[in-house]
Structure 1
Amino acid sequence: MSQEIEFHFKSPNDSPGYLLGQLTMLWQRKQKRVLDPLDLTQTQFVLLAALGWLSKNNNSVTQVDIAVQSNADRMMVSKVLRTLQEKGFITRQEHEKDTRAKTIKLTSSGEIILQKAIIEVEKADLDFFASLDTQLPSFNKNMVQLIDKNSE
């Protein structure tokens, strides 16, 4: 005999986690379409963008800074940054004060590819979220609230 599986939510459309998962997959597909021609993955773009943001106010951005800014696992950040270095988009050098840390900088080709990627990703985002229209600021505020509440 099989027993009936019970769900808290009446349907998938009542489950915020299920809906977030579906939305994330659709969004990632759109991002992949614009990042593939630039030879970047979504993760590589996020880390380059984090480095770009952090570099505006800090000349010695570390891998830890990038991991914190992007809510990413430190080991994964290290591996992805190695790949970005192999592609010639970043340099990794010993930190002048902390010998355990690496200072990460964009190369000129990294700056060029990041700028191209930002333009494409922002266009894709505006298109993807266009149906929210005037509700977009509220949607963003709710996402920030969830990130803040659930960050470790």
Structure 2
Amino acid sequence: FLDWQRQLNALLNPLGLTQPQFAILAVCGWLTRNSEQITQQGIARFTGMDRMHISQIVSRLEKDGLVEKRIDPQDHRANLLSLSKEGLARLRIAMPVVEAFDTAFFHKAACQG
């Protein structure tokens, strides 16, 4: 896992992303694709990542202008997340990079294993 993450981070670095940041952008994009609303807690449940880690990554993505956060009118303790226009554009650039890398990496691992 660490080798995969290290190599993927190297590919995502020129796009200004890390693997965990990409993962959260991708999950946010996927879960909101039909105008559904998603919270940080929902992303934590979906990914299995620690809520505090999600919170830190989302704060960075918000600071970088890639996600937008607003208070959930149904639950004032929760934040609703959505991709910004820049976040969607960055995800569209990163997605084929990650897909090609995963295909090559796991194909190589399967052939060696």
On whether the aligned pair clears a TM of 0.5, the verdict is yes
Structure 1 gaps of 5+ residues are 1-23, 134-152
Which blocks of at least 5 consecutive residues in structure 2 are unaligned? none
Q: Which residue of 2 aligns with 1:116?
A: 93
Asked if structure 1 preserves the Cα contact closer than 8 Å seen for 2:70 and 2:81, the reply is yes
Amino acid at match of 1:86: K
**Equivalent pair of 1:60/1:95 in contact (CA under 8 Å):** no
Query: Could you tell me which of 24, 40, 47 is aligned with 1:70?
Result: 47
After the TM superposition, which of the residue ranges 78-87 and 56-65 deviates more from structure 2? 56-65
Deviation string for 1:121-144 (max 9, x for gaps)?
Answer: 1110011112327xxxxxxxxxxx
What residue is the counterpart of 2:14 in the other structure? 37
TM-score normalised to structure 1 length: 0.68
Give the Cα separation in 1 of the matches to 2:45 and 2:93: 24
How much does 1:49 deviate?
1.1
Determine the structure 2 residue equivalent to 1:18: none
- Greater relative contact order, per chain length (Cα 8 Å cut-off, separation 6+): 2
Q: Secondary structure at the match of 1:72?
A: coil
Please name the residue that 1:127 is paired with. 104
Deviation digits for residues 47-78 of structure 1, max 9, x if unmatched? 11111111124522100011111111111111
> Structure 1 residue 107: deviation in Å?
0.4
Distance 2:50 2:22 in 1: 15
- Relative to total residues, which structure has the larger strand share, 1 or 2? 2
Of 37, 55, 64, the match for 1:60: 37
Contact 1:94 1:103 in 2 (8 A): yes
Higher Cα Rg, which structure: 1
Question: 1:86-97 residue pairs with structure 2 within 5 A?
Answer: 86-97=63-74
Query: Paired residues, what number?
Result: 110
What is the TM-score normalised by the length of structure 2? 0.91
Identity %: 35
Would you identify which runs of 4 or more consecutive aligned residues in structure 1 move more than 4 Å?
Answer: none
Please say if residues 69 and 82 of structure 2, whose CA atoms lie closer than 8 Å, have aligned partners that are also in contact: yes
For the Cα contact (< 8 Å) 2:31–2:37, is it kept in 1?
A: no
Deviation at 1:30, TM superposition (A): 1.7
Task: Give the partner amino acid of 1:41.
Answer: T
